[in-house]
Amino acid sequence: MKIEIREGPVYSEIDHPELIRDWLSYEKVYWRQGRYAKERRSFRKSLVGKNGEFLSGYVPRVKEYLEKKGHTIEVMDKVDAVPFTWPELEGITFRKDQEEAIKEILLNGRGVWKAPTGSGKTILIAAVLKAYKGTGIVLVHTKALLRQTIEELEKFGLYDDYVEVKMKQSFSNVIEDINSNYYDIVIVDEAHHVSSFDSQYAKILSYLEAPVRIGFTATTYEKEKENYLAMEGLLGPIIGETTYEDVKDELARPRMKFLKVPAMSEQKKKKLKGKYQLVYDEGIVHNRKRNQLIVEEAERNIRDGRSVLIMVEKLNHGRILEDLCGISMPGEFVFLSAEDDDEKLKKETDKFKKGIRKGVIASRIWSEGLNIKSIGCVINAVGGKSEISSIQRFGRGLRADEGKVDVLLVDMLDTNHSYFQRHSMDRLCFYSEVGWL
């Protein structure tokens, strides 16, 4: 059977949608109040509309599926191509892996490129913006990343009337005041945050009709889960990858160290009951011996001449560690979070970059995108099992700097609860897989 797909910038349409309606779907999970507690329920949610419309990022997936079924597919492109030329950035000679990435991105015009933290994603973003002849926008999700991206693009003369950088939170509030055809190119940094069909990113990307859509990320989710499908549908599939092997000579060599958390008393272990967050607060955030172990490791590294970044998840955990560091190392550490104003964040970031500030305790605001090459030691005080979070946290230290050969990555081996034991083992397996052990 010959099937026609009419591809648009956001949505595409297909003849005979019944051929893919059940296949192009995912398990949608929701919680329903049961007799005694909330119960997990799920159903299959189709990504194909009543009239055969679906997000254009799925076109390659749909085409491959139907061709395997023996159908002939004709894709009718309803989008005007944005012209491009090979980019030249002043003062930059592209590495071989960067040349290959730029080539694939320009040839595809839509999709997600995977690249390790510290491998030079900002150079790729600048190159893509320089290559295309049109109006572009770069979307980010934190104030620190917003400021850093603007500074980097200004170096290449790319932050001007034709290129903007916006935070998704504020931009989503004014998106409908903008002509949907205004931008030719939309780029999303840390694209794994396009992880829901109801998110601010989804609101923006389903409104803008920019034909060129590129995402950059170090990590992605499972391909059949909603968080990946949202990213694929709104931006496009993974079109290529820069691996750690490709850029290992450009990064600091990771050296891993593990600190075994002392066993809690039986009396305290009895408090480690209930939902995960309750157990986490008692066993991680307010674990005095664990926190002291972290502070001692931080002090040891500062004495050895390394700058130290301690990553936390909870705000009160950051404040507790800041107080403890203030006792043993007065004036050396500051805690930074999204609650701080821009002036404080910029001031303290600059002090840390210049070596005036030796230690920083940071929440998620520093877990992604921030370019600080001088970090000598990263301590993951969080725990947890997320591969994505582990990459992002330790990735802060992998950026190479003059005279910096390696970086010490310190993780905690928690054994006081089955949650913590399982998560510690998950992280160990992951570190082995990426070659850090």
Distance spanning both ends of the chain, measured CA to CA: 52
- Reference 409, options 308, 280, 304; nearest CA is 308
Pairwise CA distance, residues 144 & 148, whole Å: 6
Contact yes or no for 26/222 (Cβ under 8 A) = no
Residue range(s) of every CATH 3.30.780.20 domain in the chain: 2-77
State the span(s) of the chain assigned CATH 3.40.50.300: 96-246, 251-433
**Residue 231 vs residues 122, 198, 234: alpha-carbon distances, Å:** 20, 12, 5
What is the full per-residue pLDDT of the chain (437 aa) written as tens digits? 899 999 999 999 999 999 999 999 999 887 788 777 778 888 899 999 999 999 999 999 999 999 999 999 999 887 778 999 999 999 999 999 999 999 999 999 999 999 887 778 889 999 999 999 899 999 998 888 888 899 899 999 898 878 999 999 999 999 999 999 999 999 999 899 998 999 999 999 999 999 999 999 987 777 778 889 999 999 999 999 998 788 877 777 888 999 999 998 888 888 888 888 899 999 999 999 999 999 999 999 999 999 999 999 899 999 999 999 999 999 899 999 878 888 888 888 888 888 888 999 988 776 555 667 678 899 999 987 765 566 666 665 566 665 567 889 999 999 999 889 999 998 888 888 777 77
The architecture that CATH gives domain 251-433 is 3-Layer(aba) Sandwich (3.40)
Q: Residues in the chain, how many? A: 437
| Second CATH level (architecture) for the domain 2-77 | 2-Layer Sandwich (3.30)
- Please state which CATH number belongs to domain 96-246: 3.40.50.300
> What pTM did the predictor assign?
0.79
**Encoded tokens for 323:** 């107080």
Place of tokens 């301690």: 310
